[in-house]
Structure 1
Amino acid sequence: MEIVKNTVVTLDYKVRDPDGNIVDNGEQPLVYLHGGYDGIFPLLEETLHGKNKGETLQVKLQPDDAFGEYDESLVHIEDASLFPDNVEVGMAFERVGDDGEDDMLYRITDVADGKVVVDGNHPLAGTALVFDITIADVRPASQEEITHGHVHGPHGHHHH
């Protein structure tokens, strides 16, 4: 079956950076509803369109097509007193957005001399990504999946 709008696609995949380091070893297959539902990066979806079950492909996404360019303005130095005593590099904090602003996830990238450096960039911002993909399965989406705009079932999205 061909990948067209309103098909559910299962991908076996690995993601590497341009130096060949594994970014995501794809332990779980990626299952998404095809056809502009924002299930995967738009450029990936465009590349997969019209392909068939069993095909393999490699897609390279530039930062703009993946997690965006690195934005220096999202890096802030805060006073350590604003954070819990056990604050350490690698921790993440969600800052709830003001009226209409999205919530932001900030990662701690440095802790020194009573100051904490927080970075609102996605860990993969500024990184090109190379996807090695095998199309494992393609099936028609159910009417409910189309209505909700995402996949249901064992690998899909669950409503809480």
Structure 2
Amino acid sequence: MQISERSVASFHYTLTDDQGQVIDSSEGREPLTYLHGTGQIVPGLEKAMEGRQAGDQFKVEVAPEEGYGVHHPELMQEVPRDAFQGVDNIEPGMQFQGRGPQGVLNVTVTKVDAETVHIDGNHPLAGKTLHFAIEVTDVREASEEELSHGHVHGEGGHHH
């Protein structure tokens, strides 16, 4: 069976950056399982998965526009340190949720000064080309329940 709309696919992956450094991998874990066509994985990878079948192994480069988006400089801001009330020790790399005009925004601390905290609301992989090595392990028809709920149930998926 080939990966298409209304199918559930499972795959192992290794994600690397332009320098070949591993960013994420399913090695040593269960394969990632998703409902194809529902936007559960980045668009560029989902397009590359279309038509594949169990046993297929391939590599794909996903441009930022088809991955986690381009980097938006306007999402980088400096905020007063006292905006982080109740947090005594703020360090680069820490992540917080903030509220913005569009709702909840996840931000990462990039730099801390005496009075100012520099934050970045971009996804950590925004603006980066994603290099995937993929091995498709299973493809099956999605159940009607999975289709109506919009996610995979059972092994590798959601349990109600």
- 2:7 paired residue number: 7
Residue 15 of structure 1 contacts residue 26 of structure 1 at CA under 8 Å; is this kept in 2? no
How many residues are matched? 156
- 1:149 paired residue number: 150
- 2:32 paired residue number: 30
Q: Deviations over 1:27-65 (max 9, x none)?
A: 44210011x211112222222111111011111001111
Residue 8 of structure 2 contacts residue 141 of structure 2 at CA under 8 Å; is this kept in 1? yes
SS in 2 for 1:103: strand
**Counterpart check, 1:96 vs 2:94:** no
**1:103 deviation in Å?**
1.5
**1:102 deviation in Å?**
3.7
TM-score of the superposed pair, with normalisation by structure 2: 0.91
- Corresponding letter in the other structure for 1:91: M
**1:115 deviation in Å?**
1.1
Alignment of 1:33-72 (within 5 A): 33-34=35-36, 36-72=37-73
Alignment of 1:115-130 (within 5 A): 115-130=116-131
**1:120 deviation in Å?**
0.4
SS in 1 for 2:5: coil
Equivalent-residue separation in structure 2 for 1:71 and 1:56 (angstroms): 33
**1:154 deviation in Å?**
2.9
**Counterpart check, 1:114 vs 2:118:** no
- Corresponding letter in the other structure for 1:137: D
- Corresponding letter in the other structure for 1:96: R
Indicate the RMSD between aligned Cα atoms, in angstroms: 1.4
Cα separation, partners in 2 of 1:120 and 1:158, compared to 1, 3 Å: farther
Equivalent-residue separation in structure 2 for 1:96 and 1:148 (angstroms): 28
Equivalent-residue separation in structure 2 for 1:74 and 1:81 (angstroms): 20
- Corresponding letter in the other structure for 2:32: L
SS in 1 for 2:136: strand
SS in 2 for 1:13: strand
Q: Deviations over 1:120-156 (max 9, x none)?
A: 0111111100010000011111110011111011321
Unaligned runs of 5+ in 1: none
Residue 2 of structure 2 contacts residue 53 of structure 2 at CA under 8 Å; is this kept in 1? yes
TM-score of the superposed pair, with normalisation by structure 1: 0.91
Q: Deviations over 1:64-111 (max 9, x none)?
A: 11111111100111111111222221111111344xx24210111111
Range moving further from structure 2, 68-77 or 88-97: 88-97
